[in-house]
Structure 1
C-alpha cells in the first residue's frame, strides 16, 4: 500500500504531465466505448426496422434488393406485381393480414408510399410497436390525402392542412410534377427511428389517381388531362403494385407459403423472411463496422503509448530520486513496482474519466441522436463485453508499464547509490 501512495505522490509531483496523459487515455476510452455503444444500438435498431411481418413479397430479384426498396426505400423494384396476384395471396387461408405497397414517386427527395389502411393497423417496428399518429388521422376516402413521416414534417415544416405536390420519380429535383393534383396533409406520424419517418404515405387510390392520365410514363396533354375532381369519381383500383407484406395466422406455415409464392405460376415473384434478409444485409455492412472498431482500438493503443513515452522520458530525470529511495532501504524490485503502479494509476484514472466522459456525452446528446438518427443510447452500466474491454486496457497498461519498470530495475542495480549522469 505504501508503494501505491508513493506512486500517487510521484504523479502529483508531475501533475501536469500526468493529467495530460490520463486525459489522452480518457478520450481514447470514451471513443472506444462510444463506438461499441453505437455499434450495438445500430445493430439492434437495424434489426428492429420491421417486426411482426412474416413475409415480404415482390417481383423476383434478390432478397437484399427487395428488402432495400420495400423497407428502407432505397433503390427501385425490377418489376411490379399484378393486383390480382396480391388479392390471390391476401385471401389465402394462411394469411391473417396483407399490406400492399406502391412506390415510384417522391417529394423533395423523400419517397412516397401508396398503401392501404392495413398499413396503419398492422405495420410494426422495434419490439412489436405499432405506428402512432402525433397529429391528425390516417387518409380516408379522399384519394388526395397524405400522412407524413415525422422527419418529413419536421424538415419541410409541414403542418395539418398544408398542400403539397408530388413529383414523378425519385430524384431530389424533378422536372415532372403532379401539380394538377395536390395533396392535403391530414396526419403526421410519431417518430419511429425507421425509414417510416422519411416517407409520405398516400392511399393506393391516390397513387392511381395521379397516374390515371399517364401513358407509357408520359403525362397526357390538353383534352387528355384528367382533373382531380374527375379522378375522384373514377375507379381507382390499381392494376399493379410494387410489393406487399404478409402476416400469417401461424408461424408454422411461413415456409410453406414462401415456397408457394416462389413457385407461383401466375408471375415470377419472390417471398423473403425479413429477419433473414436483415441479417444478410447487415453482414454486407459488417466490414465497415469492424473497421470502425479497429480504428478505436488503435486510438486506445495510441493513448497507452503516450503514457509509456511519458514514463520513459522521465526516467533519466528521476534517477536521483530512485537513488534516494535506495538509500532509505528500497530494493530494485520496489523501484520497478513503483513504475508499474504509476502506469496502472494513470490507466485507471483514464478509464474512470473516460467512462464518466462517455456518460456525460450520452446524457447531453441522447435526445438529439434519437431524434436525428433513430438510435437510443441508454445510460446503463457497462455490459459484460465493455467490462472486458476496460479490463483489457488495464492489462495492456500493466504490460506497457513493465517496460520502464525493467529499465528502472536495471539502472537501479547498475547505479547503486552513485548516479552517473
Structure 2
C-alpha cells in the first residue's frame, strides 16, 4: 500500500496544475457546504436566543406567531391593545415575579419606537440569559429622554445628547412627526444581535404625552408645548403587549390558561420558546433550500474531479501499461486511481476548512453588525465531521469509475504494450 501511495503522490505532482484545480474545486464545494451549515445553525441559534428568561408574552387575542412577531421582532402590528388595568392585575399576580409593559406604534426614520419602563432594562434578557447593558449613558428618567439600540445610533450617527423627532405610526413622513417634542438621547445600549439593536426606547409616559392632541392618527392642532406636558403626571391607558417572568416555571401553564380565559378582555398568552420554534418551522423551506444548493455544488465539484480523472486517464494509458509491464497487478492500478481521488479530496477538504475558518473570522463582525447573527468560531461539530466524512466517502465512490476503467484498460493494454 505504501508503494501505491507513493505512486499516487508522484503522479499528482506530475500533474500539478490539474491537481491544483481539482483541489480548489473541492475546497470551494466544502467551503459552501460547511459555510451554509454553520451559518444555518448559528442563525437558528441566534433566532432562538432573541429572547431569554421570559416565561409568557401577553397581547390582544391573536395567533401566537403574530404576537411574537410584533412584540419581540417589531414586525407588524397588534390586533388589539391591552388595557392598563389588565397589566396591573397580572403584574401583581401572586405567581408573577416581574412584568415588562410594551407600547408600539410609532417610529423614527424606519426604526420602531417602543414605550416601556425601567423593568425592561432590569429584566429583559437575550441569548444565554444575558441582560441588557449600556455602551454609554443610562436609562431614561425625564419625560422626553430616549435610549437607543446600537444599530439605531450607528446607522443615524447619534450620540449622547443628540436630539430626534418621533413620527406617529410606522411611516415617518412630515405631517405625522411630533416636531415640537424632540427627544434627547441619554443612553445607547450595547449590541445584542437582536431586534433590541434596532429599537428606539422611550417611557410609557412619553408615549402618552406625544399623543395629546392627536386622534386616530391625525393632529387636531391643539398639541401642548413641551414645558406644559412635563408638568403633567401621565398614566398609560393602554399598552401593546407585556412580558412576564414567573417565580416558578410550574405555574406557567396555570397562568397562561387564566390569561387566555380572562373575562374582562380577550387576551392571548404564549410561551416564547414554542412560538419561536413554530416560526422557525415556517421558514424551514429556505433553510432546506440552502442545504440542497450546497449539496449540488459539492456534486458539481465531484463531477469536475471525475471529468479531470477520466480525461487524464486517456493520456496515462501508456503509464498504466508500463506499470503492468513492471509487475503491477490490475488491483494496484485500481488502488492507485482510488488513492488519487481520495488524496485530492482530502487536500480539498483541508484547504476548504482552513479557508472557511479564515473567512468566518473576517466576516463575523460584519454579519453580526448587519444581520444580527452571532457566528462563533468553534471547533468542528460531530454533525460537521459527518458531512466531511460523507464528502470523503463520495470521493472514493467517484474514484471507482476511472479506477474500474483503468483496471479494464490495463488488462488489454498490458497484453499489447508498445513503447
Structure 1: 5+ residue runs without aligned partners? none
Partner of 2:102: 101
Matched residue of 2:395: which SS? helix
How far off is 1:419 after superposition?
5.0
Q: 1:324 aligns with which of 304, 312, 322?
A: 322
Structure 2: 5+ residue runs without aligned partners? none
- 2:199 pairs with 1:204: no
How far off is 1:73 after superposition?
0.3
How far off is 1:212 after superposition?
1.2
Partner of 2:267: 269
- 2:383 pairs with 1:385: yes
How far off is 1:401 after superposition?
0.3
Q: CA 1:232–1:309 in 2, change beyond 3 Å: closer, same or farther?
A: same
Task: Give the TM-score normalised by the residue count of structure 2.
Answer: 0.98
CA contact (8 A) 1:151 1:198 kept: yes
Q: CA 1:288–1:91 in 2, change beyond 3 Å: closer, same or farther?
A: same
Q: 1:292 aligns with which of 290, 293, 298?
A: 290
CA distance in 1, matches of 2:315, 2:247: 78
CA distance in 1, matches of 2:349, 2:168: 54
Partner of 2:188: 188
Partner of 1:415: 413
**1:308-339 Cα shifts (integer Å, max 9, x gaps):** 00000111111111111111001111111111
CA distance in 2, matches of 1:350, 1:172: 52
CA contact (8 A) 2:84 2:236 kept: yes
CA distance in 2, matches of 1:117, 1:365: 35
CA contact (8 A) 1:144 1:183 kept: yes
CA contact (8 A) 2:42 2:376 kept: no
How far off is 1:377 after superposition?
2.2
**1:16-42 Cα shifts (integer Å, max 9, x gaps):** 011001001001101111111111111
Listed as ranges, the matches of 1:168-187 within 5 Å are 168-171=168-171, 173=173, 175-187=175-187
CA distance in 2, matches of 1:174, 1:289: 40
CA contact (8 A) 1:324 1:417 kept: no
Partner of 1:37: 38
Listed as ranges, the matches of 1:43-62 within 5 Å are 43-62=44-63
CA contact (8 A) 1:319 1:419 kept: no
CA distance in 2, matches of 1:62, 1:253: 22
CA distance in 1, matches of 2:385, 2:21: 24
- 2:158 pairs with 1:158: yes
Q: CA 1:212–1:363 in 2, change beyond 3 Å: closer, same or farther?
A: same
How far off is 1:205 after superposition?
0.5
CA distance in 1, matches of 2:361, 2:286: 27
CA distance in 2, matches of 1:419, 1:411: 11
Matched residue of 1:168: which SS? coil
CA distance in 2, matches of 1:372, 1:27: 25
Structure 1, 212-221 or 381-390: larger mean CA deviation: 212-221
CA contact (8 A) 2:212 2:223 kept: no
Partner of 2:254: 256
Partner of 1:24: 25
Aligned CA-pair RMSD? 1.3
CA distance in 1, matches of 2:48, 2:174: 33
CA contact (8 A) 1:102 1:115 kept: yes
Partner of 2:232: 234
CA contact (8 A) 2:169 2:217 kept: no
CA contact (8 A) 1:151 1:197 kept: yes
CA contact (8 A) 1:4 1:338 kept: yes
How far off is 1:367 after superposition?
2.3
